[in-house]
């Protein structure tokens, strides 16, 4: 099947870009086995890739832009590969914004750098966006306010700067907001107080942020 062949090629691009030969577990990758038998790959009844769960598997290198073509992807988990301060590095590809079925994007504890792509605001089915523990810089994109199904937004332990966008007031389903240990400044948008599902945000470690006492 052409689609399966294309998705197999995309997964191989991920394997090659992240030093798959040295992963902690690369069972059946780059073999003729069904994709559902490749370690960490989840598929649906039609054989389409719906999930990638490679947390803590020792990936290194960069996230290939080809992942944006896995249009049935619902879960993308590449977290906890940076315990040696490297792991998955480089920029977050803006092409991930094409994954409109994505519900979970877990990329925390790696060596990711650059800015948070505003294209991630197109992931309107997203429930969890976890980017903590990287080296991301620049501003928090106001486009993240479009993620109205979002329940968890973790951006702590990065190098993010600028103000907290007031557009986050649109995240009425938000339960967890972690922004600590960045370089954020300005005041906290009072509208965040209207998010009735939100527990107390984590904001400490931003020396130029006006945090009410």
Q: pLDDT band at residue 83, thresholds of 50, 70 and 90?
A: low
Task: State the burial class of residue 127 (Cβ atoms within 10 Å of its Cβ: 0-12, 13-18, 19+).
Answer: middle
Separation of alpha carbons 23 and 14, rounded Å: 12
Average pLDDT value for residue range 162-185: 96
- The secondary structure of residue 36, as a DSSP letter, is G
Q: Domain range for residue 206?
A: 2-210
Q: How far apart are the first and last CA of the chain?
A: 60
In this prediction, residues 30-56 reach a mean pLDDT of 96
Q: Which of 11-15, 87-91, 107-111 has the lowest mean pLDDT?
A: 87-91
Each residue's pLDDT tens digit, 8-36: 999 999 999 999 999 999 999 999 999 99
- CATH classification of the domain holding 114: 3.80.10.10
Partners of residue 201 on adjacent β-strands = none
Residue 213 has pLDDT above 70, yes or no: no
pTM for the model stands at 0.95
Q: What confidence category does residue 125 fall into, taking pLDDT thresholds of 50, 70 and 90? A: very high
Section 57-70 average pLDDT? 96
- Please count the structural domains in the chain: 1
Pick the closest to residue 43 from 54, 32, 51, 33 (CA basis): 51
């Amino acid at each position: 099947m052409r689609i399966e062949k294309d998705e197999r090629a995309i997964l191989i691009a991920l394997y090659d870009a992240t030093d798959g030969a040295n992963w902690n577990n690369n069972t059946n990758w780059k073999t003729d086995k069904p994709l559902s038998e490749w370690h960490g790959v989840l598929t649906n009844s039609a054989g389409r890739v719906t999930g990638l769960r490679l947390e803590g598997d020792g990936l290194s290198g960069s996230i290939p832009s080809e992942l944006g073509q896995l249009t049935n992807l619902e879960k993308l988990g590449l977290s906890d590969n940076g315990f040696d301060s490297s792991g998955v590095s480089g920029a977050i590809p803006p092409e991930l914004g094409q994954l409109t079925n994505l519900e979970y994007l877990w990329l925390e504890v790696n060596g990711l750098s650059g800015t948070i792509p505003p294209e991630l605001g197109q992931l309107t089915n997203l429930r969890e966006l976890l980017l903590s523990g990287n080296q991301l810089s620049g501003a928090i994109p106001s486009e993240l306010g479009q993620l109205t199904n979002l329940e968890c937004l973790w951006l702590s332990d990065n190098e993010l700067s600028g103000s907290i966008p007031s557009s986050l007031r649109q995240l009425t389903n938000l339960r967890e907001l972690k922004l600590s240990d960045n370089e954020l400044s300005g005041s906290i948008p009072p509208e965040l107080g209207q998010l009735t599902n939100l527990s107390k945000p984590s904001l400490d470690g931003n020396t130029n942020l006006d945090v009410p006492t």
